[in-house]
Copies of this chain bind each other. A is one copy, B any other.
Amino acid sequence: MRDKAITLNDIAKKLNVSTVTVSKALRNHPDISITTTKEIKKIAEDLGYTPNIMARNLSARKSNTIGVVVPKIAHFFFGSIIENIYDVAFANNYEIILMVSEEKAEREKKHIQTLMAMKVDGIIISITQETKDLEIFETVRKRGVPIVFIDRVPEIKNVNTVLINDKLGAFKAIEHAIKIGYRKIGHFAGYTDINIGRNRMNGFKEAMNKYNIEINPDWIIEGGFGENYGYESFMRLYKANNLPDLIFTVSYPVALGVYMAASEVGLKIPNDIDVICFGNAKVQKFLSPPLSCVDQPTEIIALEAMNILLENIEKRDEGFTPINKVIDTELILRGTCIGEEN
């Protein structure tokens, strides 16, 4: 047996007042006297009233909900960002609707449409590695839905972005590698169609150029941001008997793929083949050997993104000036890419 949900009307009838009075009372509207408000709240509590959010949002044209779209979730970087976004949202009385695109542009598009259909008040998104059709973002803009792009952003002008300094981060890593003596450096670059891939690649190239080291195109492989891509790229070079001394990977999962492949073929990191990656995860220090990396401060990214979004939501109808934040990274050295010590 299923109880019918309690509505404002049910409460109103009990007290012989109008629904509007109940609605107002529950929202502490000054129209309603303190005594009545108290009475109403008591009955609501007793009856176990929960407002119908669908009806509320429909009526109020506001959902107090923020949509978050990420390409992956079982991934430290995004998991951590989401957790931080949740914290800020919760503190500000917003709900989060999380959508996972699984790196599929088609799915991403559908998610964004759903979020708009749900009338979310704003969107925070990190796009997939294959997102090329940018029309949907134009639609979002047209609809006036505030949106903040984080980490992975499309090629659009005049939008809010929170990025990390990918180029400089990559540069720092490669410069360090060169300084400790590496010359044969490869780069598993993910997708350079997307800003993070492209900028990390640029940082890599800039460092190599600065120190006049030739870049071997065979050692630059593009493909993706996941484990399998790291694994396959490594295997390709290994089978061609053409491995560099150090591989700089575009992401932490890619490095993990390299670890898997290396261990499978019996090569020891860091002595036979060395690795450094972009992106931090709690476990890296426990890998064998502990993986050095360029750290991305997820908490700051989440916080900045939420700040911008909430600001945008509030000032929705005033003019819009895009905000673009760039967050700095830090090189964390552990058991790889540390030179002579081994």
Contacts and interface: CB of A to CB of B under 8 A. Distances in A.
Interface of A: 1-3, 5, 48, 50-55, 57-58, 63, 72-76, 79-80, 82-83, 86-87, 90, 95-100, 102, 107, 113-114, 116-119, 139, 142-144, 227, 256, 259-260, 263, 281-283, 285-290, 316-317
Listed residue (A51, A74, A86, A259) with the most chain B CB atoms within 10 angstroms of its CB: A74
A228 B114 CA distance: 38
Nearest to A255: B286
24 contacts: A2-B144, A3-B142, A3-B144, A51-B117, A52-B58, A52-B117, A52-B119, A53-B114, A53-B118, A54-B55, A72-B83, A74-B79, A74-B82, A86-B100, A90-B107, A95-B97, A95-B114, A96-B98, A286-B288, A287-B287, A287-B288, A288-B288, A288-B289, A288-B290
B256 A119 contact: no
A143 B113 contact: no
3 closest Cβ contacts across the A-B interface?
A2-B144, A288-B288, A74-B79
Contacts of A55: 54, 58
Contacts of A281: 283
Nearest to A80: B74
B50 A54 contact: no
Contacts of A95: 97, 114
A143 B53 contact: no
Listed residue (A76, A83, A260, A283) with the most chain B CB atoms within 10 angstroms of its CB: A283
Nearest to A114: B95
A74 B79 CA distance: 4
Contacts of A286: 256, 259-260, 263, 283, 287-288
A100 to B, nearest CB: 5
Nearest to A82: B73
A145 B217 CA distance: 58
A73 B72 CA distance: 12
Nearest to A139: B48
A3 B143 contact: yes
Nearest to A1: B144
Contacts of A256: 282-283, 286
Given A2-B317, A54-B55, A256-B282, 14 more contacts: A3-B144, A48-B139, A50-B117, A53-B117, A53-B119, A54-B57, A73-B73, A74-B79, A74-B83, A79-B79, A83-B100, A90-B107, A256-B283, A288-B290
Contacts of A316: 2
Contacts of A288: 286-290
B86 A75 contact: no
Nearest to A284: B283
A2 B290 contact: no
A58 B53 CA distance: 9
A76 B74 CA distance: 6
Contact of A287 (B96, B283, B317): B283
